[in-house]
Amino acid sequence: MVKHIVIIGGGPAGIAAAQNAAKCKDAKITILERRDFAFHAPGALRAMVDTSFIPKVLIPYNKVFEKCPNVEIKFATADNIAFDSRSVTFTPTEPSSPQDTISYDYLIIATGSSYPGPIKPTGTIIKMEDMTRDLTKAANDIKDSERILIIGGGAVGIEMAGEIKAFYPDKKVMMIDPNNELLSNSNVPKLREPIKKALLKFGVDLFLGERLNERFYSHQFGTKILETESGKTIESDAQLVCVGMKPNIELMKDPDCIDGRFIKVKANMQVDHPSRDYENVFVIGDASNHPTAKLAYLGMLQGQHLGTCISKNVKKGKDIEPYVPPSVEPCFLPLGTKGGASQLPVGKGVIIGDFLTKIFKGKDLLSGMNWSSMRAKVPK
């Protein structure tokens, strides 16, 4: 009997899961994805500065499953999951289309996370042209701003500062973070000092251990004079929010399955709950509390692993094996196309500088790899 695998979310994790599960001819895979494009999030920061990069972060789905006749993408919003009856209710994106329901034998929740747009598409973005509009507007606003304050000293803030400074070397770029060190939420202690030195060398002003009196939840453009809790004054023409990742867990209504911000999962990414309702329900990527770092590349690896395991489970009844993340967190932090510092997941962590960071990520921000995984060619 053919088993039905339903995947909610067409990001890197969900697509990888579908591609690997599709190798099992006894499985039918349906992906529910509300947008008509895949978003290459690692390239968003460059697209917010250099509009010529925008086409490289918007990937069409038309080629990805050409050779997988057992995979179907439905452009639709998942509205509700009935775990007891193993069904998902959804509304097609096509205007005036009625709500519908599909049943599943396996369910993969790959809903990812939200971030202040256009670092990631906001909830209202459905079409490629809408995302192009938002990225273009951000790029124009940044172009018109001479003093730019980056709020957040994590990976996103660091790369944002680097992209702006590399494209506009004469702009004043500042970064503020309440922690005394950069990358405070990442397990990369050996990388913090090298990337700090790289930012300072690049001409980025750092305000570490400082918190603004005013809270920001979205990017703002316009001259502001802001004060920190310690009494420092910072004047800027743009305030870019590079913090605030929010896992998309709204479809999980059971509070017993929620661990703080995330959906609880076991080592094999199955929902961590004793009820049989969750027996074949899995969560991959940013929405789960799996110890894997929240990186698009690692989400893709999770998807590959789970898709392969489900394929083997369908064909041979094999157990879904745990996913073991790298023992050392990979972290690539390009500062534009030429500089940066990174940690390779080798040994106890190997730190590399400008040249190798450019080779691994800085040159194209992994767009070539992502387009290739979608069976598509990067536009020139």
Provide the CATH number for the domain around residue 218.
3.50.50.60
Answer yes or no: pTM beyond 0.75: yes
Is 236 in the same domain as 253?
Answer: no
Q: Tell me: do 239 and 350 sit in the same domain.
A: yes
Q: Is residue 33 domain-shared with residue 99, that is, in the same domain?
A: yes
Structure tokens at 109: 């929740």
256 with 309, same domain: the answer is: yes
**Inside any domain, residue 128:** no
Distances (CA, A) of 147 to 157, 171, 235: 15, 6, 8
What is residue 242's three-state secondary structure? coil
Q: What SS3 string covers 96-123?
A: CCCCEEEECCEEEECCCEECCCCCCCCC
Is residue 322 included in any domain, yes or no?
A: no
Alpha carbon distance 269, 343 (integer Å): 26
Encode pLDDT of 28-39 as tens digits: 999 999 999 999
Question: What pLDDT band is residue 1 in, cutting at 50, 70 and 90?
Answer: confident
> How distant, in Å, are the alpha carbons of 1, 4, 110, 281, 325 from that of 86?
17, 11, 17, 9, 29
* 291 has a pLDDT exceeding 90: yes
Mean pLDDT, range 107-115, rounded to an integer: 97
> What is the rounded average pLDDT of the residues 301-325?
97
What would the mean pLDDT of 72-94 be, rounded to a whole number? 97
What mean pLDDT comes out for the span 208-232?
97
In this structure, is residue 132 part of a structural domain? no
Domain coverage including residue 338: 146-244+328-373
Per residue in 250-274, pLDDT (tens digit) is 999 999 999 989 999 999 999 999 9
Distance between CA atoms of residues 158 and 17, nearest Å: 30
Same domain, 308 and 297: yes
In this predicted structure, the answer to whether residue 380 has a pLDDT above a threshold of 90 is: no
For the CA atoms of 316, 296, 47, 243, what is the dihedral angle to 10 degrees?
150
**What confidence tens digit (pLDDT) does each residue in 132-188 have?**
999 999 999 999 999 999 999 999 999 999 999 999 999 999 999 999 999 999 999
Question: Per-residue pLDDT tens for 322-349?
Answer: 999 999 999 999 999 989 999 999 999 9
Q: Answer yes or no: is 348 within a domain.
A: yes
Average pLDDT over residues 215-230: 97
**Whether pLDDT at 371 is above 90:** yes
Q: Percent of the chain having pLDDT more than 90?
A: 98
Do 231 and 350 reside in the same domain of the chain?
Answer: yes
Helix or strand (DSSP H, E) at 356 = helix 354-357
Q: Is residue 274 part of a domain?
A: yes
Residue 126, domain member (yes or no): no
3-class DSSP state of 213: coil
Examine the domain organization and report whether 271 and 177 are in the same domain: no
Compute the distance between CA of residue 346 and CA of residue 33 in angstroms, rounded to an integer: 35
Do 216 and 298 lie in a common domain? no
**Is residue 55 assigned to a domain?**
yes
Mean pLDDT computed over every residue of the chain: 97
